[in-house]
Structure formats: C-alpha cells, structure tokens
Structure 1
Amino acid sequence: MTYGTKLRERIAAPDTTPLIGVYDMYSASIVARHYDGLFVSGFGFAASFYGLPDIGFIAWPDMMAFVQRLRGAFPGHHLLVDIDDGYVDPEVACHVVEGLERAGASGVILEDQRRPRRCGHADGKQVLPLAEYLEKLEMVLATRTDLVVVARTDATEEDDILRRAEALAATDADVVLVDGVRDVEWIRRVRGVVGDKPLLFNQIAGGKSPRLSLPELTELGVDVAIYSTPCLFAAHRAIDDALTGLRSADGRLPEVDPGTGGIGVAASTRLLEDNIARLRSARGRAGV
C-alpha cells in the first residue's frame, strides 16, 4: 500500500486525523513517539532552516531533501508537506510533486496565494485569480500518482472564500483547506459548500482561527487537523527558559533527574536510537 493511499484511508476514518507540525529531524523524532502523522510546516521549516519568516524564502530542493530524511527515519508515519504555492511556477510545482512522491511523502498542500506570500494567519495575503490557480492545481493533480493533494485557499473576502472553497471541492483534489478561518460558524459555512469533500483545519497558536479540540472538530465535520507550530513554539520557550536559568546560575548546568522528566545525554541518545531501530524494523519487513 502506498503512502498516499494510507493517508487517504486514515482521513476517511470517522474521527479527525491530527498531523503535527515538525521543523527538523529532532522535533520529528519527539512527535513520532506521540502521533502517527507528521506535517512539514512551511512556517517551521522557514524558521529552522533559514532563520526567516514564512514569506516565500523556501527553496524546493531544501524542502525535498528534508522530506527524504524524514521518510528515511519515519517509514511508517503519515507525512503531509506544505509546498506553499508550488514555488511559483506550475512546471516547478509538478516537478516538486513528482520528487516528493518518489521520496515517500503522503501528501502535499498547494495554496492559491500570489507572491509575495504570507503565513496563512498573517495579514496582507493576496490570492491568484481563481482560474490561474485551478490551472496549476489541475496540472499537479495530473502529475501525482497516488499522493494526497490538499487544495488550499487563502481568500479573505467572505464571498470569495465560499466561491473558491466550492470550486476547489469540485476538482479531484482529495481535501480542501480554507486557511485563517476566524470562527466556528465559518467552519460550518465552508463545510456546507464543500459537500462530501474532506475538510482540513489549520491550528496555529496565536493565529486567527479558534482553538478547538479534536472531538469539537469532528463534530463540525472536519476530517484533518494540522497543528503547524506547537513544537517550534515550545522549543522557543524551553530554550529561552533554559538559557535564562543558565545565566542566572553563572553557567552551572542544572542536575538531570530522569525521574522528573529531565533530559540529558542518555535520554537524547535513546530518542535518536529509536530512529535507527524503526528504520531497521522497516527494512526487515521489506526484506531488505
């Protein structure tokens, strides 16, 4: 069974499928202990790989190389990849989709933003003419073999949101995402116009959308939930706290107490050794 088919079947389950945003191999290693679905967040990757905001700096070879490393370490996990606008050009978008499918991605998200692009929860977003985006989307859909394709709109005008959501649902895209949905009522309205097409909801701390539990999302008819930045923001807070403590202790490291969840060399090494064991197990099942 291919990765796309596995994710498609998981999305078809009655409950909402959570996919957790990762920004590097270490964060993915931690997420893999808790969830079976990873989301390669453009926000997180731009921040971790370039140290830059999510406004269009990502180069597709960097993203493809990251996905290759992820799939090698996590052969059994769902892996959804944010490819922004397909890196501007439709032919490039198709090339990236082909490469990501070969690398073992489960699915991609393709947005309708116009450059200069923005994070989906930022102000100042502009969208392509719908016909232009649909042409690019159709090219991507014709290129993929089994990859799950999420069609995303970043429209902000009310009439345009519903018009685009309905148009995306009428394509062969597997899932529809309206990013930056501001309240529960708008989730219901989008759900109403996309019909039976699976719906994805993006949650980001401090973003424009409401904070909702998985049962609440299931009740609203949401099939997939991506959590773009919990790992990135948690690392930001934890690193800042650790270095503040180190400075206040005049450079003396704290004691590591495994009984209280302290992380030291042993715990970190065990985490990374899990990746080796997981890969060996997958090779054994494949007869390699």
Structure 2
Amino acid sequence: MLYSTLSVAAKREAFRARLASGELLRMPGAFNPLSARLIEARGFEGVYISGAVISADLGLPDIGLTTLTEVAGRARQIARMTDLPALVDADTGFGEPMNVGRTVQEMEDAGVAGLHIEDQVNPKRCGHLDGKEVVDRDTALKRIRAAVDGRRDPNLLIMARTDIRGVEGMDAAVTRARELVDAGADAIFPEAMATLEEFEAMRRAVDVPILANMTEFGKSELFTVDRLRDAGVNLVIWPVSLLRLAMGAAVRGLETLEHEGALTSRLGDMQHRADLYDLLDYEGYAHFDEDVFTFTVARD
C-alpha cells in the first residue's frame, strides 16, 4: 500500500550487493510511477528513469531543457513507488562541476539507488543521434569527481556515461572509460556501442559494472539479455520502450475511435480494470478503511 516497504538505504545496499554478485540486472524504463510498479510486478530487477522520457512527458525534445527540480521530482515519484532500485539519468549534471555535486544530493534525497552523469556538452542531445559533442577530458573527470565528492551515502551508485564512441571512436571510448573509473566512477555507461565486440572490449578495459542501452531505432543492435550477459554486461536498460509501446497503443486507439466511433474492438488490448486495481492494491488500502474495497470487478 502507498509507497515502497523498503528504506532507501536498504534498496541501495541491495543494489550494490546484486551488482557485486556479477548477475545481469534488467532495468526497463518507467514512464510514470504506475509503470514502475508494473515493472516490479513482472519480476524485473530494477527501474530506469530516462531523461528522454521525462522530456517527452513534458512535450519537450531531449536536448537538456528539463531542470534538476523537474527530474528529481519525477525520480522521487517513481523511486518511492517500488521496492526495486531506481537508476536515474542526470544528464550532464545540470551545470558546472559544482552543480553536479548539488545534483547528486538532490537525487539522493529523491531516493534513487544510482544516477549517471554524461560527458556531452550543453545543449546535449540523444546519445544515438549524429552531431553530438563531448567535453574535454578535464571537464569530464571534474564532473565525476564532483559527483563523488557530493555524495553523502557511499552506497549511492555514481555511474559515468561517455558518449565519445560516436565522436572519436572506440579507442577513445576505452581510454575515457578508464579515466572515469580512476576519477571515482562506480560503473560505466558506454553509450551507442555498435557491436557485442565493443561491449566485450569495454568489459576488458574496466573492472567496474558496465551498462548496455538497448534503445530502439538507435545505433546499437537490439541484443538479447543472454548475449549481453555473455559479453560481460552487468546492467541493461530499455529506456524509452514502455513509453513507445504506450504511445503506439494510444495512436491505434485514437485511430479506432476515428474510424469506428467506439473502442469495443480494442478491449482485448487494454489492461483490465481488475488488473489495474490489483496493481494499485485496492485491497491493501481496505486494511485502513474497510469502505475502500467493498466491491468485486468482473473479468468477463
């Protein structure tokens, strides 16, 4: 009922322990708090909070227009709804290295288990688009050092994302990943890897967990979890997938309304009211007020 039954400290500690075990953690992207609860109910190991999804939810392109307050607020809403650890996209840290330290503390207060800071310049763009630029080595390392210095809970995961693969090539990506780890990064997010061999090269280069971004319509092939596990990947995200599926379904529903004047033919595509009520835990709320859950929802 209400929010997570676990403390933030417990979620962070469990997240660290699972990463240390070497298992691969699957973290679909939640586009709202309810979808985070669904991700947990379906048995996944974590929840990802995408900056691109937050931007899209606000009707904005993913070019750094969202604010720290907006992202931290949405992260809090999602993280508190599930017992799973939440990993949030903190873009470039919302300013200069000093701002990165504040960003880390705001995300700590939001209850996430980890966040990643990237090395793009502002205004940033989606990591799977052409024309992006990265900051110089010194600035990239200062961001991560500031993130580590700003952290109060040692179990908060500080992940460094590097976009340099798409700008300067794989050798540069390997070099920067090593430097980011030396600067204090707990994990590496090598953006827009093109092949499994590139993930394997990154695995050999660093001794911290690495993340694979399996976003659709991007630079990376959509590898299966098993293939990524074999390549040494520790975390996999599908950042925008649930939003894309939901929006695709919404388009089809509106088309049906236009052409048929009713949604009767789409009932089989919808989450049933009974399943929604189960997910919302109406029964749990009845423990506090017996007048809340006094009905049965037929499934036929």
Alignment TM class, shorter chain as reference: 0.7 to 0.9
Range 78-87 or range 8-17, more displaced: 8-17
Is 2:264 aligned against 1:254?
Answer: yes
- Counterpart in the other structure of 2:196: 184
- 1:117 alignment partner, SS class: coil
Deviations 1:100-153 (A, max 9, x none): 112211000100110120111111111111111101210111121221011110
Question: Within 5 A, what are the aligned runs for 1:217-232?
Answer: 217-232=228-243
CA contact under 8 A between 1:205 and 1:230: conserved in structure 2?
yes
C-alpha distance in 2 between matches for 1:246 and 1:26 = 25
Q: Which of 165, 170, 184 lines up with 1:172 in the alignment?
A: 184
Distance 1:59 1:17, change over 3 A: same
C-alpha spacing 1:27/1:189, structure 2 compared with 1 (3 Å): same
CA distance in 2, matches of 1:63, 1:14: 30
Counterpart AA for 2:263: L
Distance 1:53 1:274, change over 3 A: farther
| Counterpart AA for 1:20 | P
What's the TM-score once normalised by structure 2's chain length?
Answer: 0.84
> Could you say if the C-alpha distance between residues 91 and 53 of structure 1 is closer, same or farther in structure 2, counting changes exceeding 3 Å?
same
Report the 3-state secondary structure (helix = DSSP H, G, I; strand = E; otherwise coil) of the residue aligned with 1:242: helix
User: 1:39-188 to 2 correspondence within 5 Å?
Assistant: 39-48=48-57, 50-74=58-82, 76-144=83-151, 145=153, 146-155=155-164, 156=166, 157-158=168-169, 159-188=171-200
2:249 is aligned with 1:238: yes
Report whether the alignment pairs 1:212 with 2:223.
yes
The DSSP-based 3-state class of the residue aligned with 1:32 is helix
Structure 2 unaligned regions, length at least 5: 1-8, 289-300
SS at match of 2:281: helix
Shift of 1:2: 3.5
SS at 2:211 equivalent: strand
Whole-Å Cα distance in 2 between the matches of residues 218 and 134 of structure 1? 28
Kindly indicate whether residue 278 of structure 2 is the aligned counterpart of residue 270 of structure 1: yes
Matched, 1:198 2:209: yes
Q: Is the 8 A contact 1:111 1:153 kept in 2?
A: yes
What residue is the counterpart of 1:5 in the other structure?
13
Residues 37 and 224 of structure 1, relative CA distance in 2, 3 Å threshold: same
**CA distance, structure 1, for counterparts of residue 95 and residue 182 of structure 2:** 23
Deviation at 1:28, TM superposition (A): 2.2
CA distance in 1, matches of 2:281, 2:180: 42
Aligned mates of 1:276, 1:248 — CA distance in 2 = 40
Counterpart of 1:28 (choices 36, 45, 49) is: 36
Contact 1:29-1:275 within 8 A present in 2 as well: no
Aligned length: 272
Change (3 A) 1:256 1:187: closer
Distance of 2:97 and 2:10 partners within structure 1: 25
How many angstroms apart in 2 are the aligned matches of 1:71 and 1:185? Answer: 33
**1:178-224 CA distance string (max 9 Å, x none):** 10111112112222221x22111111011111211111111101111
Deviation at 1:169, TM superposition (A): 2.6
Q: Among all aligned residue pairs of Structure 1 and Structure 2, give the percentage whose two residues are the same amino acid.
A: 28
Higher relative contact order structure (alpha carbons within 8 Å, sequence separation ≥ 6): 1
Which structure 1 residue ranges, 4+ long, deviate > 4 Å from structure 2? 274-277
